[in-house]
Amino acid sequence: MQSQIVLVLSALTLAIVSNLFGESGYTWLAEQQNGEYLHDRIAPPPGYRRLAVSQGSFAAWLRGLPLRPQETPVRLFDGRLKTRQDAVFAVVDIDVGSRDLQQCADAIIRLRAEYLWSAGFSDRIAFNFTSGHAARWPDWRAGLRPVVKGSDVSWISSCKADSSYASFRRYLDRVFIYAGSYSLARELQVVTNPDSLLPGDVFIQGGFPGHAVLVADVAENEQGERVFLLLQSYMPAQDIHILTNPANNFSAWYTARRQGTIVTPEWTFSFKDIRRFP
């Protein structure tokens, strides 16, 4: 009976995603392999309910992310196993690529860009290189390519126009090469009140190296206290995964606080590090 309920909920989730984001809200998947989604597998703690989010929003899209089967390990871009499997609560069903590119901030860029693509907002896809120069998908789509000389970047017309998904992925790989936590931190808006934490927010410390993790979901109790899920890639490039919380018996949920630090398995952030896409 329980398995039947899970299947019904999974089908409902898929129907909602399809209605909001077109035939496939997660374009990189040829098909959903196991029918499991973040919202299905990871229930809020007792006494908490998921925040209401707008239909078609980044938050709703993140909540429906497809997951690989339970106990799936995280692998690096070259197929090797990630050393810290204890950091992994669940693995997102998305490719990492075959090169050491899709690291921490790059994974967040990937998910944000994939959302905008699937939601019909591809003209808004743009990120900055570390140099501060903008890399806009509409320019790439039109056949322009970046020429990088030191800290100087110019875009020249050198290819045929191509609006395909394959071209989009090549664009993202180029962004991954020249962008990172330093540039992404400067694109995002500061969130001054952790009590207002939302799905899609980012904990980020821009640097060389820096690190960034994405808030994948948020739940709240009757007192207005919030808990949240975090996802990350890391170095080297590896499967995007939901993090465990070492301070909470390796549950996936973290507690929002107005001050202090948040200790993830591989990085420590401050609650002053929260940023939001404009």
The pLDDT tens digits of the residues spanning 80-114 come to: 999 999 999 999 999 999 999 999 999 999 999 99
Q: Which helix (H) or strand (E) holds 90?
A: strand 88-91
**What φ, ψ does residue 194 adopt, rounded to 5°?**
-60, -20
Smallest CA-to-CA distance from 112 within 188, 174, 16 is with 188
Give the three-class secondary structure for 86: helix
Residues of the chain under the 70 pLDDT cut: 1-24, 31-35
Tell me what pLDDT residue 111 has: 98
- What local confidence, expressed as pLDDT, does residue 55 receive? 94
Q: Is the peptide bond before 209 cis (omega within 30 degrees of 0)?
A: yes
Distances (CA, A) of 1 to 15, 43, 132: 21, 18, 55
Residue 24 pLDDT: 63
pTM for the whole structure: 0.91
Query: What does the block give as tokens for 113?
Result: 């860009």
Domain boundaries, the chain: 1-101+185-278, 104-184
**Residue 152: how many CB atoms within 10 A of its CB?**
9
Quote the pLDDT of residue 32. Answer: 55
Q: Residue 258's pLDDT is what?
A: 85
Q: Are 224 and 256 spatial neighbours (Cβ–Cβ below 8 Å)?
A: no
